[in-house]
Chain A
Amino acid sequence: MNATVLPLAYLFAAGCFVLALKWLSHPTTARRGVKAGELGMLVAVVATLLEFEIVEYQWIATAIVAGVALGVPLGLLVPMTAVPQRTALSHAFGAVAAGLVGTAEYYLHRPAIDATMMIAIGLEVVLGFLTFTGSLVAAGKLQGLIRDRPWVYRGQNIVNLSILGTALLMVAALVARPDAAFLFPIGVALSLVFGVLLVIRIGGADMPTVISLLNGCAGLSASMMGFVLHNNLLIVAGALDGSSGLFLSIVMCKAMNRSFVNVLFGGFGATSSDGAIERRPVRSVDPEGAAFLLDAAQSVVIVPGYGMAAAQAQHKVRELTDALLKRGVDVKFAIHPVAGRMPGHMNVLLAEANVPYDQLYDLDAINPEFPQTDIVLIVGANDVVNPAARTQTDSPIYGMPILDADAAASIIVVKRSMRSGFAGVDNDLFYLEKTQMLFGDAKTVIGGVVHELSKLPAREVAAV
């Protein structure tokens, strides 16, 4: 193969990647986007294998076989509720690949490394390794292997920032003295430690932002690898990944009315005690009562939250939706951008349960509809419907755009207990005159409501 074919193959692949993301702008074209991405990937890999002097095939073959053996179950068998931790794990994999390649490049070429090359290697390695351990911790938290509550102590920010600062200082020193090889492992170790410390202090509901940020770091690291290897395709793909991470982080921060710095260094939710909240009377309802209420409604809006995912209740929610639709009740879903543990988490779960996507509404689309809604059914959501975000200036969630569930005629809240949400603030919505609490595991109680509905006589839709 001559030298012009490879750049053209890479250019083709880069074009495929951009088209893949463009087609992702609508559900009807999105699967075409996956095909485009796959085609670009295939062309780039085949062209690389043909062009370069590959002398050691057995290692590559073994690695590819092992990668496929792990990738197929990770892609096909992971349940949709576990997608956040799978995503975190894949960020770790991508980042460690970049970190290791950067490490090898340094040791192969030192001490003859010019300043720009050393900066690129340094950034690739620091970003790669901090994303690696950070993503592993995030995956561990999401999987429930590590305590979900943020781990905070005094002076934590100073410790964290000085670790990152020292790691970057090592890079700077290596730029000045590329032959000072002993600095390199120190930089690697500090990056690994920083990744752990950064994410261990961040709690569950901030995971959407953290995962987005790690996505961006993994992308940047891959892009830096492109600078090191003079590979334009890598630069482009890494930049695309990086901008998706940046974009999603901004969306998540806006949806919580918080800044990036506040998420990473604010220790949000860490001060809350577990359930030490004044006891005020609430009205509670059983599945039978809830079924009566829902049956009498004209319009119902369901607000899903992390509780729905945790209880794996999405299929029962879909059954309830079907039962209500059959009885002539209009059902819509209100999706808050930060509901769940990663961007778009609720949408994927509901899609898995076969809820058509034109029944899903985002914040801006659904908020004007709440005043005309008979019943809002909140399934495992809390902070995203807390009216304190609008009124209480001293609340940690003040200013966060919320779903105006309190504007509806009546509210049913499916919740395990009266424990506060992630932000650790009490929710006045639960104490309203028009709110009824349906306590219990979401899957069980929603199943109960469906069962009770089926016992009710068929509704005369025309009579109203």
Chain B
Amino acid sequence: MTETLEVSLFIFVLASFLGYAVITRVPGLLHTPLMSLTNALSAISIVGSLILAGAGEAAFATILGTIAVFASTTNIVSGFLITDRMLKMFKRREAPRGSSAAPPNPPSGATP
């Protein structure tokens, strides 16, 4: 096993555990934004696409890279925009009704 592969696997496994631990805490209420946000984040593959498209190595590589940059850019832009648009809509009850303040309910879907 080469040293780079060892490091890569190390990072992959730890990031997966970390990701899983963090994501299990996202309530069911926000599962749709969760999916669109992680999708936007994984469009970081634009980094690889940029290097490929911009290196000027071979015509076919430039073309494939360019398509990949296009696809990733679309995901970054639309992913962040729609996630924020959705999250903006999640609101609490404005003013508590009645005389005493209503006790706040936990958000839906706290349990997986």
Interface residue ranges, A against B (CB under 8 Å): 13-14, 17-18, 20-22, 24-27, 30-31, 33-34, 37-38, 40-41, 44-45, 48-49, 52-57, 59-60, 62-64, 66-68, 70-72, 74-76, 78, 80, 83, 86-87, 90-91, 93-94, 96-98, 100-101, 103-105, 107-108, 114, 116, 211-212, 215, 218-219, 222-223, 225-248, 250-251, 254, 325, 335, 337, 342-345, 347-348, 351-352, 354, 356-362, 364-365
Contacts and interface: CB of A to CB of B under 8 A. Distances in A.
Interface residues of B, number: 94
A27 to B, nearest CB: 4
A352 to B, nearest CB: 5
Interface of B: 1-2, 4-5, 7-8, 11-12, 15-16, 18-20, 22-58, 60-62, 64-94, 97, 104-112
Contact of A241 (B41, B62, B84, B90): B41
B44 A41 contact: yes
Given A30-B87, A63-B69, A86 B78 contact: yes
A241 B112 CA distance: 17
Given A56-B53, A68-B77, A248-B31, A222 B44 contact: yes
Contacts of B67: 63, 96-97, 100
A26 B68 CA distance: 33
Contact of B50 (A14, A31, A48, A245): A48
A107 to B, nearest CB: 7
A107 B62 CA distance: 12
Given A108-B58, A244-B23, A356-B92, A219 B31 contact: no
A112 B17 CA distance: 33
A358 B107 contact: yes
Contacts of A335: 28, 108-109
Contact of A90 (B60, B75, B104): B75
B20 to A, nearest CB: 4
A38 to B, nearest CB: 5
Given A75-B79, A105-B52, 9 more contacts: A21-B41, A34-B37, A34-B83, A41-B41, A41-B44, A44-B47, A90-B39, A90-B74, A361-B108
Contacts of B27: 25-26
Contacts of B33: 24, 30, 344, 348
Contact of B109 (A94, A114, A337): A337
Contacts of B16: 239, 242-243
Given A94-B45, A237-B42, A357-B107, A24 B34 contact: yes
A220 B81 CA distance: 23
